[in-house]
Amino acid sequence: MRNLLELINKHNHLLLFILLESFALFLIVQNSQFHKAAFLNSTNGVTANSFALISNIREYFSLKKTNDLLLLENAKLKSLISYQNTDTISSTDPYQYISATIINNSVAKANNYLTLDKGEIDGIKKGMGVISEKGVIGIVKETSKRYSLVLSILHSQSKLSVAIKKNNHFGSLQWDGKSYKKARIYDIPSHVKLTIGDTVITSGFSHIFPSKIDLGLISEIDTENDDKFHKIKMTFIEDLKQLRYVNVCESLNKTEKINLEKSLDE
């Protein structure tokens, strides 16, 4: 209290000046319609801008929650569409989807992994596929209660069954450890007609990923006349370095398919 009194006493002239100026401004506004309207307009503008700023701040901090809800709804919608499409002639196995966010990712190593913010309590299990809106990302390798470790498609042990969209000829895709933007395609016979820009899709032969997911475009064909198979490079549609949100998927008929195929070996 003593310090406050000393401060007032020290700056009493300044405080008196501010008080008189404020009182004079009040009298001007009160007795002049023009100044009163101008003052109200200016204060309304400041108030509106303040409310807009507060609204923008609140909206910014609510974006993550809103985005999580959208991802969840998107995953539910994909599952519903997948299930309903099983009644059509061109149907694939129905899949269920779980949305997740990437919280760690690598693309420059020989063997790359991703970490997701969802785990066992969210229904994620080892062996489930991980996809995005623009391609295949990898396979769940390990899980904990709240997190999942994904073996990236940019991994030396990753091998994916693919097909050429325009003619359905199938082969396998594998990363060669070089650019994260490209991968090689093997086992496409050299007599198959290919052109730069042809779309590569998932074949659906695996129970891990749905069929007909666009993966990339053929960017190089280095096939010699005496080669039995094409030498192909594909450029990924998805930018794996900027990837943020994914869906973890699982075939609802996986067990039936695996058991049937196992019976052939018995």
Residue 211 maps to which CATH number? 2.40.10.340
DSSP letters along 94-107, please? -EEEEEEEEEEE--
Sign of CA dihedral 188, 190, 192, 194: positive
Bridge partner list, 72: none
| Averaged confidence pLDDT in the chain | 78
Q: Cα-Cα-Cα-Cα dihedral of 201, 203, 208, 209, to 10°?
A: 30
- 59-63, 222-226, 235-239: which has the minimum mean pLDDT? 59-63
In a domain, 108, yes or no: yes
Bridge partner list, 163: 170, 201
In a domain, 43, yes or no: no
SS3 176: coil
In a domain, 212, yes or no: yes
Q: Please give the average per-residue pLDDT across 179-183, as a whole number.
A: 94
- 122-136, 233-247, 251-265: which has the minimum mean pLDDT? 251-265
Looking at the structure of the chain, the number of domains it has is 1
47: confidence class by pLDDT, cuts 50, 70, 90: very low
Supply the pLDDT for residue 255: 81
In a domain, 169, yes or no: yes
Predicted confidence (pLDDT) at residue 225 exceeds the cutoff of 80: yes
- 56-60, 83-87, 201-205, 240-244: which has the minimum mean pLDDT? 83-87
Predicted confidence (pLDDT) at residue 38 exceeds the cutoff of 90: no
Supply the pLDDT for residue 258: 76
In a domain, 72, yes or no: yes
Supply the pLDDT for residue 95: 86
User: Which residues are CB-neighbours of 193 under 8 A, at least 6 positions away?
Assistant: 167
| C-alpha of 17 from chain center | 59
Q: Which of 88, 87, 84 is nearest to 96 (CA)?
A: 84
Q: What is the pTM of this model?
A: 0.68
Higher pLDDT, 5 or 195: 195
Q: Which of 95, 100, 81 is nearest to 204 (CA)?
A: 95
67: confidence class by pLDDT, cuts 50, 70, 90: low
In a domain, 164, yes or no: yes
166: confidence class by pLDDT, cuts 50, 70, 90: very high
84: confidence class by pLDDT, cuts 50, 70, 90: very low
Supply the pLDDT for residue 131: 93
In a domain, 182, yes or no: yes
Q: Report the alpha-carbon distance of residue 75 to residue 96 in Å, rounded.
A: 8
31: confidence class by pLDDT, cuts 50, 70, 90: low
In a domain, 213, yes or no: yes
48: confidence class by pLDDT, cuts 50, 70, 90: very low
Sign of CA dihedral 261, 262, 263, 266: positive
Residue 82 belongs to what domain range?
65-253
205: confidence class by pLDDT, cuts 50, 70, 90: confident
Predicted confidence (pLDDT) at residue 87 exceeds the cutoff of 90: no
Predicted confidence (pLDDT) at residue 207 exceeds the cutoff of 90: no
Q: Which of 194, 223, 92, 208 is nearest to 150 (CA)?
A: 208
Q: What single letter denotes the amino acid at residue 177?
A: G
Supply the pLDDT for residue 148: 94
Per the structure block, which two tokens stand in for 141?
């390798």
Q: Distances in Å between the alpha carbon of 113 and those of 21, 57, 87, 125, 243? A: 67, 35, 36, 16, 13
Bridge partner list, 160: 173
SS3 198: coil
Q: Which of 238, 232, 218, 258 is nearest to 130 (CA)?
A: 238
Predicted confidence (pLDDT) at residue 44 exceeds the cutoff of 50: no
Percent of the chain having pLDDT more than 70? 64
- Distance spanning both ends of the chain, measured CA to CA: 92
